[in-house]
Structure 1
Amino acid sequence: MDLKKFDLEYYSKRIQLFTLNNSEGLEIQITNFGGRIVSLFTPDKNGILEDIVLGYDNIDDYLNKEEVFFGAIIGRYGNRIAHGKFNIDNLEYTLETNSENSKNHLHGGTNGFHNVVWDAKQVSKTQLELSHLSKENEAGYPGNLEVTVLYELTDLNELKITYSATTDKKTILNLTHHSYFNLTGKQNSNILKHHIKIYASNFTPINNLMIPTGKIESVTNSPLEFKTFQTIGSRINADDDQIEKAHGYDHNYVIDGSGLKKAADVYDPISKRTLEVFTTEPGVQFYTGNHLNNIKGKYNDTYHANAAFCLEPQHFPDSPNQPHFPSTIIKPEETYNSTTIYKFGVKI
């Protein structure tokens, strides 16, 4: 990636591009504009390094094209909040409604963390630290929030993302990462033949506006069941209410277990690349790029529906309005901590 294409003054801060390398030859490039991973090179079965994440090859496209979430840090609240409203201690807060025809708040709003120029410090060739002060009432959220995100590329071929945050007022927070993966390394292909296993017995069903109904339902005997390996495309067009509402997969899975646990395994039978996802979060959003629509991306490739998949570890969508979901409230005396690991490999 040309460094000059990621050098720009924006909001009085300098946009830059940083590179992480490990001893195994993996390379990740990250811009401090939105904390985006703009390229991620991993080897295939023959040791050939290819880029397995979608995106753009210059900052102008990240600023101006329609898909704004490629590879970004998402916050303050990843996923949706119904009608952009929530209550803390009987005080109602109103956020921007930027999704589902202006019905819901999505991914922190138009100027969410994906649209922030983060302060950046390259700690070493394998670590990049990003920080941001999200001020009181930014996007309508209460509290001054100090956020730090550490990207680390380990010699075990793990991309470890560590989030931490503190606030001076009770607020809500739900951070996640939004890379679009295609393990073939061929960005003009699709991911329908990828095999996936999701370590979740339940999911949170959605209504017509993509908001959880409040129920937690079993995935058993439904097209959303991936407790054993299935190809992504095997049931993506199933005659099923949940599939039809999302135009494919765009659902929050309730991960089995607690603490740092495995959320998913993905395997591409062509390149033999593998991806394992671990997280301390209670859920993971599985999205199959249903709304990628003729987008010109890197390498002069054009992205269409199902060109990639996302696995976004998170608390559940609309949790502030669903009291029985795990809470996303943080208090001034607390520190928010969350860890996600994407581990890359090859299955021979």
Structure 2
Amino acid sequence: MKKRQISKRFLLLAALGGIGAGSLAGCSSQQTTDSTEITATTDQQQEMNISQESFGTTPEGEEATLYTLTNAQGMQVQITDYGATITSLLTPDREGELGDVVLGFDSMEGYKSQEYVKSGPYFGAIVGRYGNRIAKGRFTLNGEEYQLATNNGENHLHGGLQGFDKVLWQAEPLPQQNALRLTYVSPDGQEGYPGTLTTTVTYTLTNDNEVKIDYEAKTDKPTPVNLTNHSYFNLAAGEAEDALGHVVTINADKYTVVDESLIPTGELRDLEGTVMDFREPQTIGARVKQVEGGGYDHNYVLNNTDDSLKKAATVYEPTSGRVMEVFTTEPGIQFYSGNFLDGTITGSGGKVYEQHYGFALETQHFPDSPNQPKFPSTILEPGNTYETTTVYKFSTREDGQ
């Protein structure tokens, strides 16, 4: 694939940036025929890089592009404008060796394959308008009943038959922030939703090894909105047969109880004494076979439910030493243990994705909120702006810590 460089090098003025940190100042720039170089005149020069290349064609025949963001430590995230999807995420282990810690494909061919389309795992994509399930695909808003597309039995899941994961987004690289902004306009009536919804998702890769995701949406009619990223993680980076040895901690005392079709009953149940309890570190595999339905696929009610950025979960992989911390402004997080992976999909590097090979931690509002008046509202009104932030922060720890 021919590579088109858009911002070859960035030498950042600030020291290692935290969440949302860093702006360029006192810089000189030099243009060449195929790249732009921006140099900061400080003692602490941080190299950051964005490049782009062809990723193949979408099912509709449109040209998809792959964007690669690299930070000063060499950490790298790749994102395609098809579905605003994270396709690869290279992070160091305790020895400093980089490995890909998300499930995905090397080209559009994987995302178009019959096996992937049939099983629908949403690897790394932005899902919407409504992430998670809405019962029977129906809800009533301001006295009017809306019928959405149903694609999960009789229920609506992750935006329907053609959700935000299956469309081409408009991409805008933001080199000074080492970020990629993606925008999609969902027309009134798409998948049954009311109102034209304009959504912007901005991925930022910081020098603190954080992938920060900022979501923003506006509408011209009241409509439900619940956006999330659906990345599957395996912090062993292919060096383990599954993710069951990962040690998980979730900062929640309650979860939303669901029925047999994974629709909430409305009950928020205490985790104490249940196999759902991850308040203290537990491996995914310790009790996964005791969970009804073949594994975890449940929404956890975070202890701090205001809109501040708070730690929602921590995951540690002992063999590699990798640690992932999840911060969010959302009130909930869906923990999914890859129950429906079945070995029919072969991903990047020829890896076969068997059951529990990866797990997801999807920050969100609660499932079926439009039909659950006691849950935090997901209705976006005209004139208001939907704004949420999630951060996946990566680090390592020594063995036994």
TM-score band by shorter chain is over 0.9
Q: How far apart are residue 7 of structure 1 and its match?
A: 2.9
Residue 318 of structure 1 pairs with residue 359 of structure 2: no
Residue 244 of structure 1 pairs with residue 296 of structure 2: no
Deviations along 1:185-221, one digit per CA (max 9) or x if unpaired, are 1166211111010000000011011100111110111
Q: Distance between the aligned counterparts of 1:180 and 1:300, measured in 2?
A: 16
Look up the match of 2:190: 138
Are the aligned partners of 2:341 and 2:354 in contact in 1 as well (CA < 8 Å)?
A: yes
Look up the match of 2:349: 299
What is the root-mean-square deviation of aligned Cα atoms in Å? 1.5
Residue 122 of structure 1 pairs with residue 173 of structure 2: yes
Report the more deviating stretch, 186-195 or 153-162. Answer: 186-195
* Number of residue pairs aligned between Structure 1 and Structure 2: 341
3-state SS of paired residue (2:78):
strand
Are the aligned partners of 2:54 and 2:65 in contact in 1 as well (CA < 8 Å)?
A: no
- Amino acid in structure 1 at the alignment position of 2:171: A
Q: How far apart are residue 60 of structure 1 and its match?
A: 1.6
Q: How far apart are residue 67 of structure 1 and its match?
A: 3.3
Look up the match of 1:147: 199
Look up the match of 1:225: 277
Q: Distance between the aligned counterparts of 1:9 and 1:159, measured in 2?
A: 25
Q: Distance between the aligned counterparts of 1:234 and 1:9, measured in 2?
A: 40
Deviations along 1:105-153, one digit per CA (max 9) or x if unpaired, are 0000120000010000111172000001000001000000000000000
Look up the match of 2:106: 57
Residue 201 of structure 1 pairs with residue 253 of structure 2: yes
Q: How far apart are residue 8 of structure 1 and its match?
A: 2.2
Residue 77 of structure 1 pairs with residue 133 of structure 2: no
Q: Distance between the aligned counterparts of 1:322 and 1:86, measured in 2?
A: 10
**Structure 1 gap segments, 5+ residues each:** none
3-state SS of paired residue (2:134):
strand
Look up the match of 2:303: 256
- Please identify the structure whose Cα radius of gyration is greater: 2
- Amino acid in structure 1 at the alignment position of 2:377: S
Deviations along 1:33-56, one digit per CA (max 9) or x if unpaired, are 001111000000110001000111
Q: Distance between the aligned counterparts of 1:86 and 1:220, measured in 2?
A: 32
Q: How far apart are residue 2 of structure 1 and its match?
A: 8.5
TM-score normalised by structure 2 residue count = 0.83
Q: Distance between the aligned counterparts of 1:21 and 1:14, measured in 2?
A: 23
Instruction: Map 1:81-92 onto structure 2 (within 5 A).
Output: 81-92=134-145
TM-score normalised by structure 1 residue count = 0.95
**Structure 2 gap segments, 5+ residues each:** 4-52
Deviations along 1:65-102, one digit per CA (max 9) or x if unpaired, are 23340000010000000000001011000011100xx2
Q: Distance between the aligned counterparts of 1:63 and 1:88, measured in 2?
A: 35
Q: Distance between the aligned counterparts of 2:324 and 2:120, measured in 1?
A: 23
Residue 29 of structure 1 pairs with residue 85 of structure 2: no
Are the aligned partners of 1:187 and 1:307 in contact in 2 as well (CA < 8 Å)?
A: no
Report the more deviating stretch, 145-154 or 116-125. Answer: 116-125
Residue 167 of structure 1 pairs with residue 214 of structure 2: no
Bigger relative contact order (CA 8 A; separation at least 6): 1
The correspondence for 1:94, drawn from 144, 147, 151, is 147
Residue 333 of structure 1 pairs with residue 383 of structure 2: yes
- Amino acid in structure 1 at the alignment position of 2:191: A
Cα distance change on mapping 1:227 and 1:134 into 2, 3 Å: same
Cα distance change on mapping 1:9 and 1:310 into 2, 3 Å: closer
Q: Distance between the aligned counterparts of 2:381 and 2:276, measured in 1?
A: 35
